[in-house]
Structure 1
Amino acid sequence: MSDFLARRCDYPAFTLDPGMHVQILGPRFIGYCPANNMEVVSLEMPKIEVVAIAKATVVGGTNFILSQKIAIYPDLFVPSRDASPAELYGSASIDPDICQVKFYISRKSKKVDRAISLLGQCTGNYAHWLTETLPKLVIVDACPEYDDLPLLVDEWIHPNFYNSIKLLGKHPRQIIAIGRFQPCELSCVIDVSPPAYIPAEYRAYLATKEVVKISHDVFPFSRRALDMLRDAAWKAVSLNAKPSVKRRLYLRRAPESCGNPRMIANIDEVEGLIMKSGFEVIDPGKMSFSEQISVFMNAEIVISAVGAALANMIFMPPGSRIIAMAPYYKNANYYYFSNMAGVLDHELLYVLGPQKDMGDHPLHRDYYVDTDALFDALSNLRPPLPL
């Protein structure tokens, strides 16, 4: 996007946040600690821009904007490193060496005059929705010149995601659903640069079927955008939320309410220890969006397996504490949730354990949690918990 705007001065762009470098703590562990994780990381927060692009075509399920035979994509997407879902589904091909993208589209194009795009390559995932997409609505709501424009959304998103738009949006907007890899032609599209990013897949993994080591800076987050989202969410539910003592939550990861099949193999032992410590059990996958905000805005400690529901840390007060249970394997990356927590000023500790089997994608395998390390993590919480 930056290269495109540098060549085209006729497209108005508003910079909400120029981005900045911050230093945050790297991943921290109790028990097994993987080698070569940085104690302190320097993270470049993404620049947040709102840009109007005339005579454009957007494509559902992607971050691409097509205009004048040019494919415009976010600065955070690195074609030589990242594979897009459109490629994985056979609806596009990208040749990074010659900077060329080809689309193979069979769906009929929609035609819309002017609209705000909330389309994206991973909008169906709750963590991606909270960090990459929903903040765009809060950002564009701060631009009064776009108050009357409709929203383009990916049609397959969860009903909770539609409810989040209605809950947090300042204006009643028409919602136009765009199918996966369906083109939509517009006289003008309003696009907000992603306030966070994680690649959908890596080209290196597709080529070798081996997880490659990824740097911490592949997972940037905008503090400004996430703070705006949290403030809007708190405001939206504050009138109906009941005053609450600070809550200590355990996020149960039920197989039927999560998209990733990765589960904890020794869950009975793990949950027995957590229950003994007096944590309140919730399943965010069975809660409405407003219920999740209300619960997490009153939480002081959360323990959870890594997964999309952990992105609800956005709604926790700054300075909250999190214990994240995760698997270890060769070149496993722990920077995504660590970076998110650091940007939000939370304290996050990982408790790891070995994977149960070697089938499927490494990110989807069941794993064991080291209960001795979990006991130590619970014992080190302040104030101390009953054990």
Structure 2
Amino acid sequence: MANFLFSNTDTVKLAEKYGTPLYVVSEDIIVERCNEIKRDFTERHKNTMAVYASKAFLTKEMARIIKREGLGMDVVSGGELYTAIKVDFPMEKIVFHGNNKTLNEIEMAVKHNVGRIVVDNFYELDLLGKVAKKYKKKANILFRITPGVDSHTHKYIRTGQIDSKFGIPLNENIIHKAILKAMELEYVELKGFHFHIGSQLQENETHVKAIKIIASLMNEVKNDIGFITKELNTGGGYGIHYNGNEHRKPLRYFTDAIMEELEKECEKYNLERPKVIIEPGRWIVGEAGITLYTIGSIKNIPGIRTYVGIDGGMPDNPRPSLYNAKYEALVANKMDEEPKNIVTVAGKCCESGDILIWDLKVPYIESGDILAVLSTGAYNYSMASNYNRIPRPAVVMVSNGKDRLIVKRETYDDIIKNEI
């Protein structure tokens, strides 16, 4: 029987070697995406930078790969920043996000000379001003703003609308006040602005709309306040293929539209085009990951449904429960058999909502078969939990037929190690 190969690696043998559930990540695909970013964005357009949105998937090994490939990294917590620090990631290439950074996180960022801190609100601006002054270190910042653009994606992953928990609203009384306040702080230097529209976007129209709004803001604050925008971070959110008609578009579909619109708007307002930063995360790593499971129980309810139980589920992939995310999967050890049956893949948690895939077409399946769920590289490992006291899976990196363990499988002792 034919087995499923991923990055030229036999996934059934991976399951036998490392056990299941198992996250498998392709270094080959990650490098392909990084090369496309360099070819079609940073080398194609002058005065640009690309940073990997590490919240999608971050381990020490992933940070090392991003460092080696020459991209920067976007972090959103002290833990993500600490991971970067532990692999000697260049701090000048770090962009630190977050809508409620703690004092400890801000101090960590300032002390380690993080390249850019994206300030979300007045509270954080005050705190950062005090910390930077305390350590006598200049903090370069961008203001995160909400452009008021509503993206066509799940409501939980929209971020650019007016009613968002992120960013400073484009109300003249608020944004002008924030800019003036930043310009007064001795150890803070405002470089420009950041926006993020949303995640898993399939069209570029919302990015283009946001550019028009931001360009108008850049012109307004130049004329009214005298502030010159030197940098503009346009976020990420570029979609990938999960199932059906969703498809990953070339990076240029988004970035060319962004750059063309920005050049046009800057020419209209007689502005110098600022440095442009992008933050792809899912686009780099989403399709670079799969998850392997072993099929256990097979429960047929005549005339209604067949449930296929796997040895993982909600703890290693909460996205179907959170966002109604849909995935494609295949039976890794029966690639040469025709899928004639329809089953529903159920996780092992004590939750009716722990359903990984509804109505999946499969060949004749048996207990012990290996199920490979595709496009699980982003927001699966990073959002995993120990719900029902289930240990988190191991993570294996593969490249051209070779495999290496990058995260050990958790044990029951790992789960209770901090308990008293």
**TM-score normalised per structure 2:** 0.22
Task: Tell which structure's C-alpha radius of gyration is larger.
Answer: 2
More helix by share: 2
**TM-score normalised per structure 1:** 0.24
